[in-house]
Amino acid sequence: MFFMELAANALAQNKKAALLVGAAGVALLGFGLGYKYMRKPEKAVRVGVVSQILIHPLKSGKAVPVSVAELWLDPAAVTVPVGHSGESGSSCAETQTRNTSPRLQQCWVGKKKRMFSKDIQGRNCGDKASHWLTTFLGGEKTFRLVHYEPHMKPRRPAESEPLYPQFEVQVAYPDYGPIMLLSEASVQDLSSKLDQEVTTERFRPSIVIGDCEPFDEDSWEEIQIGSVRLQRVMSCGRCILTTVDPETGVMSRKEPLETLKSYRLCKPSEKHIYKKAPLFGQLHTVKKTGVLHVGEEVYKIIR
């Protein structure tokens, strides 16, 4: 009450003061509106539905379809690479498991492997696993199973990839994003241009989206699936491994890579990032952890 009386007296005595107080009121109102605008609530727009969830026990290996999967922000959840011992650049693999089995705990730690121009640690799983893999893969080279464990130093993609979101994300053996998302429609679009159809498994996605248009996933910067929030990192540049038939293991070294190059190359301004690799699918990172289910609706987040 005392403050109000003082303000009334000041206004009665000085019209200039009244103008100043009025201007301040307008300024405060403007700030309030601006603050409200900046905090505009996000909008969720339905863009599709989860049609498949695929786990890859070995990177570039055969997928295991599941109906439910839990996503963590933990590099220990993406593990198990296989690489030729002595290679400077290993082809590696991943598994979606947090716990190390008792057998793996008894194995000794092997040398670091060179991946994505970085030295990555891994536990050598021993001679028995090596012998089994070497025999299964033909016996011409020696292969070893390597397991990433929680105490090992992960990779931070943001340190080497300028497109990577600048929040703290760590990975072990995946590329720049632990989740690869692809739509059924994009695969169907590609198949329509080929003499022989291809399946989604050839491109090793983690999450397959149905009920959308071809390449809609290219524009989903942030998506919500149930309790899970995913953030797009960058497009997935494709390599020669897309020419391997996932059912037979035979590599054609041509299709569907050549057809993808005919219509899915990057913009000229992005050639320093993707070079000549065609883009097919989107790499995502986990922004909010949770559980995914096949059949859940997918929402694009708009602000």
For the segment 196-213, what is each residue's pLDDT rounded down to a tens digit?
999 999 999 999 999 999
pLDDT number for residue 132? 86
Q: Indicate if 67 and 19 belong to the same structural domain.
A: no
Give dist(CA 67, CA 194) in Å, integer. Answer: 30
What are the structure tokens assigned to 230, written together? 């995913």
Q: Indicate if 31 and 71 belong to the same structural domain.
A: no
Q: Which of 77-81, 199-203, 215-219 has the lowest mean pLDDT?
A: 77-81
pLDDT number for residue 235? 93
What are the structure tokens assigned to 60, written together? 């570039």
pLDDT band at residue 248 under the 50/70/90 scheme: confident
Q: Indicate if 51 and 119 belong to the same structural domain.
A: yes
Q: Which of 137-141, 225-229, 250-254 has the lowest mean pLDDT?
A: 137-141
**Comparing C-alpha atoms, which of 297, 294, 268, 242 is closest to residue 51?**
294
- Could you count the other beta carbons within 10 Å of the beta carbon of residue 153? 14
Q: Indicate if 255 and 273 belong to the same structural domain.
A: yes
pLDDT number for residue 169? 62
Give dist(CA 299, CA 127) in Å, integer. Answer: 47
Q: Indicate if 59 and 73 belong to the same structural domain.
A: yes
pLDDT number for residue 119? 67
Give dist(CA 235, CA 187) in Å, integer. Answer: 15
Alpha-carbon separation of residue 92 from 14, 19, 47, 113, 298 (angstroms): 79, 71, 33, 9, 30
- Residue 25, domain extent: 2-38
How far, in whole angstroms, is CA 27 from its chain's centroid?
A: 43
Q: Indicate if 152 and 31 belong to the same structural domain.
A: no
Q: Indicate if 147 and 248 belong to the same structural domain.
A: yes
> H helices of the chain, where?
2-13, 15-38, 102-105, 127-136, 184-191, 257-263, 271-274
Residue with tokens 């883009």: 279
pLDDT band at residue 153 under the 50/70/90 scheme: confident
Confirm if 122 and 112 have CB atoms less than 8 A apart. Answer: yes
Instruction: Reply yes or no on whether the pLDDT at 120 is more than 60.
Output: yes
Compute the average pLDDT of residues 268-288. Answer: 92
Give dist(CA 228, CA 223) in Å, integer. Answer: 8
Q: Indicate if 21 and 55 belong to the same structural domain.
A: no
What are the structure tokens assigned to 206, written together? 């983690």
Count of domains in the chain?
2
Q: Indicate if 243 and 184 belong to the same structural domain.
A: yes
Q: Indicate if 22 and 93 belong to the same structural domain.
A: no
Q: Indicate if 198 and 63 belong to the same structural domain.
A: yes
Instruction: Reply yes or no on whether the pLDDT at 135 is more than 60.
Output: yes
Confirm if 54 and 205 have CB atoms less than 8 A apart. Answer: yes
Instruction: Reply yes or no on whether the pLDDT at 79 is more than 60.
Output: no
Q: Which residue has the higher pLDDT, 65 or 85?
A: 65
State the amino acid at position 291 in one-letter form. V
What are the structure tokens assigned to 37, written together? 């605008």
**Comparing C-alpha atoms, which of 154, 140, 155, 152 is closest to residue 84?**
140
Mean pLDDT, all residues of the chain: 75
Q: Indicate if 182 and 295 belong to the same structural domain.
A: yes
Compute the average pLDDT of residues 145-150. Answer: 78
Instruction: Reply yes or no on whether the pLDDT at 298 is more than 70.
Output: yes
User: Residue 109's beta-bridge partner residues?
Assistant: 123
pLDDT number for residue 178? 82
Backbone φ and ψ of 125, nearest 5°: -85, 10
∠ CA 90-94-96, nearest 5°, is 170
Q: Summarize pLDDT for 157-172 with one digit per residue, the tens.
A: 666 666 555 556 666 6
pLDDT number for residue 101? 34
